[in-house]
Structure formats: structure tokens, C-alpha cells
Amino acid sequence: MQDYKHHILVIEDDERLSHLLLQFLSSKGYRATGAGSIEEARERIIGTCFDAYVVDVMLPQESGLDFVRSLKATGLTTPCIVLTAMGEPGERLLGLETGADDYMTKPFEPEELVLRIRNLLRRSDGAVSEPKSIAVANRASVIRFGPHEFDTNTAQLRTGNQRNALTSAERDLLSCFTLRPNEVLSRDQLADMLVSHMEGRSLDVAVARLRRKLEPNPRKPIYLLTARGQGWMLQVDIIGSQEN
């Protein structure tokens, strides 16, 4: 019997595509379960812990984006990849604004989907890859700013005694800023550092979402600051180890 490490729920009403994705994911070592509607997906979730969701946008009765939004509203950090036949920038931004961690336009290569799932799972498992172009030999393990504390080893954010839930995209973005604290990072630098696919307006959306979790008043940020025409900077108080 094959030992599956991760269980993926694929929510897709196109039976042919669903069958293809389930077979492909299985061939890559994942346990894959299918659902043809949101109603069926909700039934699958009862009593089962999935490690990632692959969700089509255009589904009968209820939109895949509504499903993702409802999941994230509960504080769930399980990675969600949204699939759509529409590749307009507005569609991508809408998907990200609902809390989706990644976004793919049909048609796509199943191999690319597996690659993106693998990257998201690696981060959600706590084995967060450092931004790809930066040396991190001397990186501090704890970054503190205001009431927040970010553990760079586990990519966990705590506010006081409470753990603050972050999406995979938010964890990646905060990791970039904590890697270069008190330093302005441009859009190009962030695009190079991030392993997720964020640029342009999608990066603006990600910064705005992160601010809502960091700032007392996101419209008047005091931690994640904007340097007009240059980029953004995370202003921190303490850089040290867990013992400090």
C-alpha cells in the first residue's frame, strides 16, 4: 500500500479534467480526492483533514471563490489554489483577495500544478524555503516589532500570546521583509525573492492583506511602511534569538 504524505482535495465539475488531475496527483505520490461541487466538497471535509485545496472558480450553485473565502474566514491556513478559464488580471486579483494562495489559468500543465502544490505544502509544513536569491547564513531567528514577534525558523507570527494565522503568500512576504528589516525593498527585489507568483497589483493586494494583520490602523501603517516610488520597509524594534 502506498504511503501518501499529503491529501489533496480537487474541486472540479469537469469530470474529464478532474479524473486527469486525480490520476496525475496520485502518480506523484499524493492522495487525491475529488468533488464535483462545493456541496460535495463540504461533505468531504467533514471528518477529513486535507493538506491543500485545488478549487475551480466556475462551479454549479456556489462559486469556488466563495468557498475559499468561507474557508479563510474561519482562520484556516490550508493552502488553496484557484483554477479558472478566465485569465483577466481582475480575476486573478479577485482570487487573491478572497485568500487564495495561488492562481492558475486554464489550460495549464499538470506538472506546473504539482510544482505549485509542492511549494505551498513545503511552506505550510513549516519547512519554509528562504527567498531564492538571498544569502541567509546570519539571519536572526526572531524579529520583534510592536506587539508582534515573527519566528523566522517556523515562519510563525505571534501577537502577544496569540498565534496570528497567515496564508502561505503572507508568510512568504513577511519572511522577505524580516530577512531585510529596516530596509526598503523594491517591487523588483520582492519579485525576485518570492517563490510565489506575485507582481504588480497582486503584490499590492498581498501587502494590503498583510497590513490588516500587522497594523492597528492599516490606512496609517507604523510597521509596514511605504517608501513612495521605492517600495516598502518593515520597521522592527528587536532582532535576536528566542532567548533574547
How far apart CA 172 and CA 152 sit, in angstroms, is: 10
Verify that 176 and 103 share a domain, yes or no. Answer: no
Q: In this structure, what CATH number is given to the domain that contains residue 183?
A: 1.10.10.10
pTM score, whole prediction: 0.55
Residue 200 gets the label, from left (phi > 0), alpha (psi -120 to 50) or beta, of: left
- Across 18-22, 47-51, 59-63, the highest mean pLDDT is recorded for 18-22
Share of the chain above pLDDT 90, in %: 32
Number of domains in the chain: 2
- 200 lies in some domain: yes
pLDDT at 186 over 70: yes
Mean pLDDT of 139-166: 83
* Domain match, 81 and 166 both: no
Calpha distance 209→89 (Å, rounded): 18
Given a cut of 60, whether residue 133 has pLDDT beyond it is no
Give 188-235 pLDDT, tens digit per residue. Answer: 888 777 755 565 677 888 899 899 999 999 999 999 999 888 889 998
* Mean pLDDT, range 180-184, rounded to an integer: 86
- Same domain? For 235 and 187 the reply is yes
